Amino acid sequence: MRHFILSLFFLLSTSQIEAQKLVTNTDIWYSPTFSMDYVGGFRSMNDGLHYSSLEQDGSVASIVMYSYATGDKVSVVMDESSLPEGAHIDDYSFSADEKKMLIASGQASIYRHSSNADYYIYEKGSRECSALTDIKKGKSRLAEFSPDGSKVAFVRENDLYMVDLASGNEKRITEDGKMNHIINGATDWVYEEEFAFDKGFYWSPDSKHIAFYRFDESKVKEFQMAMYHGDLYPSQYTFKYPKAGEQNSDVSIHIYTIAAGTTQKVDMGTAEHYVPRIKWTNQEGKLCVTRMNRHQNHIELLIADMRAARGPIITPQVIYSEKSKTYIEVSDDLIFLNDGKQFLLTSDKDGYNHIYLHDMKGTQMKQVTSGKWDVIEFFGYDELGKKLFYSSSEEGAIEKNVYSIDLKGSKRRLSPKKGSNDAEFSVGYKNYIIFHSDANSPYDITLYSDKGKELRVLVDNDPLKKTMGSFDFQPKEFFTFTTERGDMLNGWTIKPKDMDPSVRYPVLVAIYGGPGHNTVTNSFDGRNYYWHQMLAQKGYIVVSVDPRGTYYRGRDFKNSTYLQLGKLETEDMISAAKYLGGLPYVDRDRIGMQGWSFGGYLTSSCMTKGAEYFKAGIAVAPVTNWRFYDTIYTERFMQTPEENPSGYDENSPINHVEMLKGPYLLVHGSADDNVHYQNTMEMVDALVKANKDFDLFIYPDKNHGIYGGTTRLHLYEKMTKFIEENL
C-alpha cells in the first residue's frame, strides 16, 4: 500500500511538472515542437470526385490522386523520376482535358509573390516528359496551358511567348521587353504587391486570343538595395518603385490573335488610371477591363469587343460604374454567368460588402446578400445548382463562417463550428472542405458532401493539441471596450496563470492595426500564439486591439481613417492603453507595444504621440514616413502628398521623434523591397538629430519577412530580451 501511495505521488508530481513546462523561443522558431499538420494544394479533378496533391516522400516528390469520399490513394499521376536528372517538382498544373501536365522546376523568387522556373510538359498517356523550351534560353515565368491544351503561353525576360505543343515551335509575341523599362505579360512591382497579382496575360475561352498587360515603367524612378552576400564588394539591386505622388507605369491592354498573328490595343482614354483586373466574358471576343482612377474612388467595368473593332484599336464600352467619397477596394469577385447576359460582383455601396447581380448593361437586377455584416470572400457560383458560396462576418467581426445562398435568398450555413472557417470546393461543387480553427486551437480540416454530410476528417491535429496541453497554455480571451469617443473596439488577451490579485502586471500590446488585416479574430495565430503564451508564462499580459480602419465592421468603420492614415488608429491605441491602465490587475506604467510593418508604424506612432502611455516599443520593418511608401497603397487612403501634405506629415512618426521617451527598438531587413530600409535609416537620422536614445538591429539581405535559417529565432530572442529588460 505504501509503495502504491509513493508511486501515485510520483506520478502526480511528474504530471504537475509536465503540465507546467515552459515554452522557449527555440521550441517555437527552430524546432518541430509545434509543427502543425495541414492539407493544402488540392487540385480538384474534372469529375469533382477526385483531387490531386503534390507530396514529398523522402527526397522524391510525386503527384498523387485521391478519392474525395474515401481518402484512398487512387494512383500516382507522376513522380520526379519522369523529369530530367536534377529537376524537381516545385509546382504543377493540368491541361483542361487532364491529359497533359505543366511542371515547374527550379523556382527562384523575384519579389514576394513572383518567381521564375524551368518548365516541362508531361504527357500522361505516353509518360513522356520534355522541356517546354530550350532551358539554355533561361528561366521563364507564369507558364499556362491554353484552354484547349494545344499551346502554352509564358513570359521570358519581360516578353510574352507561346509554344505550339504539337510542333514544338516557339512564337515570340512581343519584342520590346526590357528590364526596368517594358514588361509584357507580367506586372510591375506595385501592381504585384498592391493589386495582388503577377500574371499579366489571359487566354480567351476559345483559345484564339491572349489578352495581356504592357507596363511602360521607363519614367518610374528607380530604387536601389545593396546586396551583401559576403562578397568583397556589395552588388546593387535596382528596380522600379513608384513612391507616393510619383510617376506610375503607363499601363496598356492588348489582345493578340493567334491565327492572324496580329495585336490590337484597347483604348483606355488619356486620363491617368489603373487597370487592376482584366477578364474574358463568356461571350466570344469580349474582354472585360476594370479601370480605376488614381484616387481609387471611381471604378468602371469596360467591355472591349474585338468583333466591333475596326483596325488595331478597340474602343470599349462602359457597362458598370461605381464611385465612393473615400476609396473602393479591388477584388476577384467578378463572375460572368454562362448565359452571357448577367454578372455577379461585390460592393460595399450600401455600407457593407455584399453580392449583387447585374445585367450586361450594368443595371442592378438583385442584391443577393444583405445585412449589417460584410461578405469576406465570394467563392463562386454553381450554375447548375443556382447557388452562390461565400464567407462572411454576419455572426460578428471576430467570426468567419461559410454559407451558400440561392438567388431567391434561401441561405444555409456550411461551417458547423464557431471560429474562423475557410472553404475549398471541388469542380461542380460536389464536395467541399472546411478549414477551421479558433483562437486557441490549430486547424481541423474536414470534407463534406454537397448536402452538408461530413464525409471524413482530413486533419485533426490531435498530436499538436496534446503537445500544447503539456505546456499549460492559458486561453486567449476576447473582450470589448468603449473609447472616450464612444467607439466600441474588439480585443483579446492572454493572461499569466494564477494571477496574484495583489500584483499589477505589465502589458504588451501586440498590434497590426492597419487596413487589410485584423488581429482580433477567433482564429489560430500560428507561431505568434506560442510566443505570446511564452510572454504570459514570463508574467506579461499580452493584448491585441483592432482600431478604427480595420475590416469586417462595415464600410464607414473601415474607411473612417481616410486622408489621415494612422491618426485614428493611434488615438484608439492610446485609448486602449488608458482602458488597460484602469484595470485593477494592470501596471499602467508598464504598458508596451510590438508590431511589424503597419504594426511597426503604429508602434512608432504610439511611442511618440502616445509616449505618456507606452513605456517601451518594438517596431519591425516600419513605415516611418508615408512619403516613402508606394503609390497604390498610400494614395488609396491618403491621396497624393501634393494634395494632402498635412495628412502625410502629421501622421508620419519621423516628424514626431522629439516626443519619444521610452526604450525603442527598431528592426529592419536591409533587402526589404516593400517597406524600404530607407524608412529606418531616415528614422535613425531623425532620432540622432533629436538626441534620442534607441536600439537598432539590421538583418543583412533579408526582405520584409525577415526569415531563413536561424533568423526568426534570433529576432524573437532579441525582442524577448528587450521586453524583459525594458517592460
Q: Which of 281, 410, 378, 294 is nearest to 336 (CA)?
A: 281
User: Percentage of residues in the chain with pLDDT exceeding 90?
Assistant: 89
| Partners of residue 424 on adjacent β-strands | 433
* Total Cβ atoms within 10 A of residue 203: 21
pLDDT band at 42 (very low <50, low <70, confident <90, very high): confident
Confidence of residue 60 (pLDDT cuts 50, 70, 90): confident
pLDDT tens-digit readout, 418-445: 999 999 999 999 999 999 999 999 999 9
Q: How confident is the model at residue 16 (pLDDT cuts 50, 70, 90)?
A: very low
CB within 8 A of 676, min separation 6: which ones?
223, 225, 241, 628
User: Pick from 637, 642, 347: which is nearest to 514 by CA?
Assistant: 637
Kindly write down the DSSP assignment for every residue of 547-616, as one continuous string.
Answer: -TT-SSS-HHHHHTTTTSTTHHHHHHHHHHHHHHHTSTTEEEEEEEEEEETHHHHHHHHHHHHTTTT-SE
pLDDT surpassing 80 at residue 19 = no
Q: Looking at residue 573, what is its pLDDT?
A: 98
pLDDT band, residue 20 (cuts 50/70/90): low
Predicted local distance difference test score (pLDDT) of residue 231: 85
In this prediction, residues 6-16 reach a mean pLDDT of 42
Residue 509 in contact with residue 544, Cβ under 8 Å? yes
Q: How far apart are CA 620 and CA 606, in angstroms?
A: 14
Q: Which three cell numbers stand for residue 194?
A: 498592391
The reported pTM is: 0.94
User: What is the tens place of the pLDDT at every residue in 357-406?
Assistant: 999 999 999 999 999 999 999 999 999 999 999 999 999 999 999 999 99
Between 720 and 21, the higher pLDDT residue: 720
* Pairing state between β 664-669 and 695-699: parallel
Percentage of the chain with pLDDT > 70?
97
- In the chain the domains, ranked by start, together with CATH numbers, are 38-172 (2.120.10.30), 475-726 (3.40.50.1820)
| Mean pLDDT value of segment 42-61 | 87
Look up cell 510566443; give the residue.
531
Question: Which pLDDT value is given to residue 636?
Answer: 98
Band (pLDDT 50/70/90 cuts) for residue 104 is very high
DSSP 189-252: HHHHHHS---B-EEE-TTSSEEEEEEEE-TTSPEEEEEE-TT-SS-EEEEEE--BTTSPPPEEE
Taking only the tens place, the pLDDT of each residue in 285-338 is 999 999 999 999 999 999 999 988 878 999 999 999 999 999 999 999 999 999
Name the burial class of residue 311, with classes exposed (0-12), middle (13-18) and buried (19+) by CB atoms within 10 angstroms of its CB.
exposed
Residue 517's pLDDT band (boundaries 50, 70, 90)?
Answer: very high
Average pLDDT, integer, range 70-76: 89
Tell which residue, 455, 589, 478, 463, has the closest CA to residue 543. 478
> Higher confidence at residue 40 or residue 406?
406
Q: Give the containing element (helix H, strand E) for 490.
A: strand 488-494
